[in-house]
């Protein structure tokens, strides 16, 4: 006999809890909802607070559910799918709420035949005022679409969009409430600066934003039309809007939406083309060297990575520091950056599981000011390096920017270099302009057929990919 559970929410955190509250507010019985949380204490508090059964095992939560909402951070989605895939009931549909996780990755992480949907939603779903954007693979059955739309329809408005429009929708509706909170906070501060007490200022701002939202929804006029209606020439609003224009606020909003949309793109889509096919490679270790000497690097494993131990090593390393992030022995990313904030961020992302695969790199392989270290441009040079346990002992220049391509003489030299009984890597190098000075970066790809033999075909193929000739 079934448990009566219709919906399972895996990852009842801030967004997951808002969804549960919205479903309850929308009339779904508590007995029809199950959930899971990563902490036993949190699960107990949520069960008491929501009246919904929340445990710590996602497998138990999803066993009887027809619809599974995966509300964990993007880096945790693959692990959740791997755990629950074998226990889903026939006809179940998995809906991911994680930004930047593509339908392709969802489908690839589940057994064949399991329906998947991407959903972008926001915290106001808790009060029936949410905005949800749904995307599904071509050929998704109408009853699946109807089921998912009806579920989110309990919590607010729903639209279907092609998956390619999800980043823009996420930047507007997913991140949009934060923009309004930012403006509200600034308005409260400004009102307090004009002499109002903060409680009164907050009431004025809250009711003003809510009322403006109602007018936008109910009157059907474009925002610009409503702005023109309330902006009397020479009046107080006109003076304020003029100052906003001079401050280029509209331009800043466009830039904010663009930044959010870029971050919302599927991580593997943000990888340069030559890396996308390897997006699923797991991060297996990080190594650090000083003075360009890799023979005895400081090596850490992702789940054992420690900022404290890194700082101890940095204390003796000096200013010339480089880091390499290995995705198995197949590929590594490198950069010469001594900034402790950058190095700390890389270690913490790996240690906390946020950077678990190459596909996560675009979010973390960037400087503290946001400058990305992955380049889609042609590299400045290609080198073949014989590697002893992946410690370089002899790079050989194969190609430099401005040249037509790797020539036979250099390839011959590389092949002679590869006679060593060790793996061989093809490294592509760039120099990334940054605020504190140019940053050398590189990508290395193992081009060995085996431990003792260079795969000439793979070398040529990888070189072509890096030079943008084959994608």
Same domain flag for 323 and 461: yes
The predicted-structure confidence for 66-96, as pLDDT tens digits, reads as follows 999 999 988 789 889 999 999 998 889 999 9
Q: Environment class of residue 2 by beta-carbon count within 10 Å: exposed (0-12), middle (13-18) or buried (19+)?
A: exposed
Host domain of residue 220: 176-263
CA–CA distances in Å: residue 201 to residues 154, 188, 211, 323: 33, 5, 15, 49
Q: Which of 280, 273, 324, 336 is CA-nearest to residue 300? A: 324
- 322 vs 302, 395, 441, CA distance in Å? 17, 17, 9
- How many structural domains compose the chain? 3
Dihedral sign for Cα atoms in the order 191, 196, 202, 208: negative
311 and 388 part of one domain:
yes
Collapse the DSSP code of 219 into the 3-class scheme (helix H, G, I; strand E, B; otherwise coil) and give the result. Answer: helix
Average pLDDT over residues 114-138: 96
Question: pLDDT tens digits, residue range 21-52?
Answer: 999 999 999 999 999 998 999 999 999 999 99
Statement to judge: residues 339 and 200 lie in one domain: no
CB atoms within 10 A of CB 387: 23
CATH of the domain at 211: 1.10.3730.10
Q: Give the model's pLDDT for residue 392.
A: 52
pLDDT at 10 over 60: yes
pTM for this prediction: 0.65
pLDDT band at 386 (very low <50, low <70, confident <90, very high): low
Within this chain, do residues 104 and 236 fall inside the same structural domain, yes or no? no
Task: Please give the backbone phi and psi of residue 55, each rounded to the nearest 5 degrees, phi first.
Answer: -120, -165
We report the CATH number of the domain holding residue 113 as: 3.40.50.720
Domain boundary residue, one of 229, 247, 263:
263
**444, β-bridge pairs:** 332, 427
Give per-residue pLDDT as tens, 408-458: 566 666 656 555 556 677 888 899 888 778 899 999 888 765 444 555 666
**Do residues 335 and 281 share a domain?**
yes
Please check whether residues 235 and 274 belong to one and the same domain. Answer: no
| Mean pLDDT, all residues of the chain | 87
């Amino acid at each position: 006999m079934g448990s009566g559970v219709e919906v399972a929410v895996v990852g009842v955190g801030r967004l997951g809890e808002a969804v549960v509250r919205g479903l309850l507010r929308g009339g779904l019985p508590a007995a029809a909802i199950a959930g899971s949380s990563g902490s036993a204490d949190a699960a107990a508090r949520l069960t008491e607070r929501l009246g919904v059964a929340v445990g710590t095992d996602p497998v138990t939560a999803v066993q009887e559910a027809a619809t599974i909402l995966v509300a964990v951070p993007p880096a945790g989605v693959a692990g959740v799918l791997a755990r629950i895939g074998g226990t889903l009931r026939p006809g179940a549909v998995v809906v991911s709420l994680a930004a930047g996780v593509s339908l392709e990755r969802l489908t690839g992480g589940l057994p064949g035949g399991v329906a998947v949907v991407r959903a972008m939603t926001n915290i106001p779903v808790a009060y029936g005022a949410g905005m949800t954007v749904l995307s599904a693979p071509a050929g998704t059955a109408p009853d699946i679409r109807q089921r998912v739309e009806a579920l989110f329809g309990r919590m607010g408005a729903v639209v279907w969009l092609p998956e390619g429009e999800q980043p823009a929708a996420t930047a507007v509706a997913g991140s949009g409430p934060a923009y309004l909170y930012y403006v509200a906070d600034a308005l409260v501060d400004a009102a307090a600066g004009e002499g109002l007490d903060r409680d009164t200022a907050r009431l004025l701002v809250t009711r003003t934003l809510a009322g403006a939202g109602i007018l936008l929804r109910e009157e059907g006029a474009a925002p610009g039309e409503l702005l023109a209606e309330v902006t009397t020439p020479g009046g107080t609003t006109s003076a304020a809007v003029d100052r906003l224009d001079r401050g280029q606020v509209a331009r800043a909003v466009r830039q904010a939406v663009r930044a959010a949309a870029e971050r919302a793109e599927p991580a593997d889509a943000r990888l340069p083309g030559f890396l996308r096919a390897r997006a699923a490679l797991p991060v297996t270790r990080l190594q650090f060297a000083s003075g360009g000497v890799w023979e005895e690097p400081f090596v850490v494993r992702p789940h054992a990575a420690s900022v404290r131990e890194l700082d101890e090593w940095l204390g003796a390393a000096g200013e010339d520091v480089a880091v390499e992030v290995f995705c198995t022995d197949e590929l590594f990313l490198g950069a010469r950056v001594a900034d402790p904030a950058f190095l700390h961020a890389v270690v913490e992302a790996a240690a906390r599981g946020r950077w678990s695969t190459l596909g996560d790199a675009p979010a973390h392989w960037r400087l503290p000011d946001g400058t990305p270290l992955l380049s889609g441009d042609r590299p400045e040079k290609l080198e073949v390096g014989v590697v002893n346990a992946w410690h370089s002992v002899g790079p050989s220049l194969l190609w430099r920017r401005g040249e037509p391509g790797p020539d036979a003489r250099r390839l011959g030299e590389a092949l002679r270099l590869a006679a060593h009984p060790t793996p061989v890597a093809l490294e592509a190098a760039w120099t990334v302009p940054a605020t504190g000075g140019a940053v050398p970066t590189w990508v290395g790809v193992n081009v060995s057929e085996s431990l003792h033999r260079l795969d000439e075909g793979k070398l040529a193929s990888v070189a072509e990919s890096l030079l943008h000739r084959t994608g």
